[in-house]
Amino acid sequence: GQNIDQPTEMTATEGAIVQINCTYQTSGFNGLFWYQQHAGEAPTFLSYNVLDGLEEKGRFSSFLSRSKGYSYLLLKELQMKDSASYLCAATDSNYQLIWGAGTKLIIKP
């Protein structure tokens, strides 16, 4: 079956670095997305990886290892506004997104 696993909740301190992991099993693979979702709001796009390696975009970076079915989202210099859920989604062979349940990130001062 198709499955996405990510931790349910993480806590970090303002100004620190946090890494949110995601493992996936899909029938075929056409890339992995990370989205940010604040409570009660719509998800917003953060990153897309289809090749192995690290993609950096400002304070946020995303890594993919296709052979291991693994990705992580790295958030640096954490700010209070980064408190949100982070959703991992893998694209299967039909180009449909398979979504993880999301990781709720709590930032403490």
Partner 1 sequence: DGGITQSPKYLFRKEGQNVTLSCEQNLNHDAMYWYRQDPGQGLRLIYYSQIVNDFQKGDIAEGYSVSREKKESFPLTVTSAQKNPTAFYLCASSPGTSGGYYEQYFGPGTRLTVT
Q: How far is the CB of 67 from partner 1 (least distance, A)?
A: 20
What binding mask, one character per residue, do residues 2-41 give for partner 1 by CB under 8 A, x or -? --x---x---------------------xx-x------xx
Q: How many residues bind partner 1 (CB under 8 A)?
A: 23
What binding mask, one character per residue, do residues 50-69 give for partner 1 by CB under 8 A, x or -? x-------------------
Question: Can residue 42 be called a binding residue for partner 1 (CB under 8 A)?
Answer: yes
Cα 26 to its chain centre, rounded Å, is 16
Nearest-angstrom CA–CA distance, 84 and 70? 21
Left, alpha or beta for 95 (phi > 0: left; psi -120 to 50: alpha)?
left
